[in-house]
Structure 1
Amino acid sequence: MKRGIITALIIILALGGIALVLSNNKKKNEAKTAFIAQGSGAIAVRVASVEKKVVDLDFSSNGSFVPKQELNFLSENAGRVSKILVEEGDRVSKGQVLARIDAEIINTDRETAEATYQNALRDEARYKSSYATGGVTQQQLDQAKLATQNAKLRLQASQRRLSDANIKSPINGIINKRYIEVGAFVTAQGTQLFEIVDVSKLKLKVNVNESQVANLKIGDKIEIKSSVFPTEKFNGRITFIAAKADGTLNFPIEIEVDNNTKNSLRAGMYGTAVFNFPKQAPGILVPRTSFVGSVSSNQVFVLDKASNTAKLRKVIAGRILGDSVEILEGLNEGETVITSGQINLADGTPVSIVK
């Protein structure tokens, strides 16, 4: 008996709780409805004035410096390193000898190729003399000429290998890493020898958004600043603008930067690209949220102050400037656009302004 009474009380309490929750939800919905529709069927909206402002296109973007030229120098000949003429940190110029490989075997190959070539020349001369007297055929003479040509090519290749025994720098730069020691054996398959970095010119890589990239072009001169050298200004020039946005919808930009005479800037440092543009003429701007759906729709609702209704207006949008959009046609300064609540509006819908 007691158990039945307790069960009945629990059921009554649960039903009472459910009723209380439903009542609270109803009050909240009524409050929302009252906020959205104030007055007799008017839709609550927020508005903004259409203003003419000076468009400021200037902006800055941060990035990091990378070398314009960076080379991992590999061996082209097999042999044992006999001498190293540079150390890490040394500045080198193009064509400078960095190290030498023992050329004994290479020199022997060159001498053999030289002897073969000279012998082929003599054979060709004999065949030419015999051909003139009818002693050999044209085919035999052609074969002698071909043998001479092949011997000459082998000699040139061996001379090139002998020249490459002196490992020379292909660029101007600084020896950033040295991977070999005297006595080490390098292979013709490409043993890593040196890492050479040229920092006389650097590249600053930055990202810009769609509205910013529209005002940039290859060759534009850009002011570059570095937090490490705050009193110095460096000159830059845009050398690359990505044709496609990356995953964050930004466009990678590369700026070639002239280092100073001391080569103070180093690869890996952070830099700031300062993009300055000529002063723009004032233009009509509205909040980006004014558009129905998205900016590409080219439609906004304008407040008709006389009838307190929303009027759908076709406009032509220009540049997107942060939270504002430039209007090329369709709006006049002093008009009022609706910035929220458009989802509930149609042309001629009564509205009330939420302060």
Structure 2
Amino acid sequence: MALTLTALLAGCRGEEPEPPPPASRPVKLFTVGGGGNAAIRTFPGRVDATQRAELAFRVSGRLQELRVKEGDLVEQGQVLAKLDPTDYEIVLEDRQASYDNAKRNFERGKELIVDGNISRLDYDRMEANFRTASAALTAARQDLDYTVLTAPFRGRIARRDVENFEDVLARQTVIWLQNINELDVVINLPESVVRSVRGEAREEGNLRSGEAAETVVAYASFEGRRDRQFLLRPKELATKADEQTQTFRTTFTMDAPTDFNVLPGMTANVTIDLTRVMDNDPVKWVPVRAVQADSDLEPRVWVLDPQSMTVFSQPVEVGRMSGRSIQILSGLEGGEEIVAVGAPYLAEGMRVTRMPLSEQAIPRDGELL
């Protein structure tokens, strides 16, 4: 019995346990710009109406007629709504009476001043009363005209904020009008892209010039219609970054499709070819925290081998910092994936995994982490 137990124990000691799989660390990755297709970028966009207006009455009153519904197509000059004009008609009648009286007195004063029957002071007072009455009459006529709201351009009623017979205030928005024959597509360019655009391409007004329209080629595509691309025309480029996102608002225009609806508020994918306006500068911009120091205190980054999902150390030469970004003057070709978060805990040849989407914010294309 004892021999059997000893043999069993010896057999167990002879079987070596399998080694655990190599440790794998989740990391957040960043794609270095400047590769072969660095000038062709894709951004999420938002559709807006090129021409839009928030329509309001210039006087207060009770809504008497509301002639349009949401979605209606209206022509320029078409009557959209009316206020009850009664109060303004009464004021106009009173101002008309005052004007007529002041005018008669002024005409008499012209005759009397010639013969010296009235003083110059009285004559000047009559003239002032006449001019005041004339201005008041003009204002009353305008107020009566302002009780009618008309369309300033041809478009579609996007929204109606009031119902008939409601009391509305002066300059309170009652109708939203949009011209959707031509649409704006708005994107936010990250500073890494704007920084790479040549100086002459950023000059005021140049984005709207014919030369820019030929050199900056942009297309929009829409969900469910990815097989079609719509040519975009450059319109505006903001020169001041948004304080929250540090991106630059860029606007393009396009003709509205005729075979399906694209309405303001919808989303689009915008592809831009900046090949002709971007510097051929080898400088790359990466997140500051992606650059670490090796044992000799020399800067390096951890580059991902996508085949083996391992990382290796790559020495780099760094330049100046700008916000949360730093220049890489040499050491990277562009297009590599480098570790942006988790770099201090890596070793040569260590396996890594991409951090799950739920654990990291997804940057816009070209936006630094």
1:64 aligns to 2:60 (yes or no) = no
SS, match of residue 90 in structure 2:
helix
Which residue identity does 1:164 align to in structure 2?
Y
Give the C-alpha shift of residue 288 in structure 1: 6.1
Secondary structure class of the residue paired with 1:95: coil
Q: Scaled by the length of structure 2, what TM-score is found?
A: 0.59
Identify the match of residue 225 of structure 1 among 216, 221, 228: 221
Deviation of the 1:196 alpha carbon? 2.0
Kindly indicate whether residue 70 of structure 2 is the aligned counterpart of residue 73 of structure 1: no
- 1:268 — aligned with what? 265
Corresponding position of 1:146: 128
| Cα distance change, pair 286–223 in 1 and its aligned pair in 2 (3 A) | closer
Offset from partner CA, 1:268-324 (integer Å, 9 cap, x none): 211122111337898767896999889xxxx979xxxxxxxxxx999989xxxx999
1:272 match: secondary structure: strand
The answer to whether the Cα contact below 8 Å between 1:234 and 1:259 also exists between their aligned partners in 2 is no
Task: Give the fraction of aligned pairs with identical amino acids, expressed as a percent.
Answer: 18
Determine the structure 1 residue equivalent to 2:191: 210
Equivalent of 1:136 in 110, 114, 118: 118
- CA offset at residue 66 of structure 1? 2.5
Residue-by-residue CA offset, 1:79-129 (whole Å, 9 max, x unaligned): 333333222211123321112223233222222222221221111111111
The whole-number CA distance in structure 1 between the counterparts of 2:158 and 2:51 is 12
Q: CA deviation at 1:190?
A: 4.1
CA contact under 8 A between 1:98 and 1:169: conserved in structure 2? yes
Paired position in structure 1 for 2:16: none
Alignment CA distance shift 1:209-1:90 (3 Å): same
Q: Within 5 A, what are the aligned runs for 1:321-336?
A: 325=328
Q: Kindly tell me: are residues 255 and 108 of structure 1, through their superposed partners in 2, closer, same or farther at Cα, counting changes over 3 Å? A: same
Instruction: Assess, with a 3 A threshold, how the Cα gap between structure 1 residues 314 and 239 changes in structure 2: closer, same or farther.
Output: closer
Q: 2:178 aligns with which of 193, 197, 200?
A: 197
Per the alignment, in what secondary structure is the counterpart of residue 237 of structure 2? strand
* TM-score, normalised relative to structure 1: 0.61
Question: Are the equivalent residues in 2 in contact too, given 1:236–1:258 (CA < 8 A)?
Answer: no
Distance 2:123 2:328 in 1: 82
Query: Mean alpha-carbon deviation: is it higher for 197-206 or for 114-123?
Result: 197-206
C-alpha separation in 1, matches of 2:186 and 2:261: 18
Judging changes above 3 Å, is the alpha-carbon distance between structure 1 residues 158 and 59 closer, same or farther for their aligned structure 2 residues?
same
Cα deviations by residue, 1:25-68 (Å, 9 ceiling, x for unpaired):
xxxxxxxxxxxxxxxxxxxxxxxxxxx97574211111221233
Name structure 2 gaps, 5 residues minimum: 1-33, 301-314, 334-347, 350-369
Across the aligned residues of Structure 1 and Structure 2, the Cα RMSD in angstroms comes to 4.1
Q: 1:93 maps to what in 2?
A: 75
From 86, 109, 123, the counterpart of 1:104 = 86
Q: Is the 8 A contact 2:319 2:327 kept in 1?
A: no
- Larger CA Rg, structure 1 vs 2: 1
Aligned counterpart, 2:156? 174
**Which residue does the alignment assign to 1:14?**
none
Residue 148 of structure 1, CA deviation:
0.9
Once residues 244 and 299 of structure 2 are traced to their aligned partners in structure 1, the CA distance between those partners, rounded to angstroms, is 30
Query: In the alignment, is the contact (CA less than 8 A) between 2:283 and 2:328 conserved in 1?
Result: yes
Q: How many residues align?
A: 265
The answer to whether the Cα contact below 8 Å between 2:63 and 2:81 also exists between their aligned partners in 1 is: yes
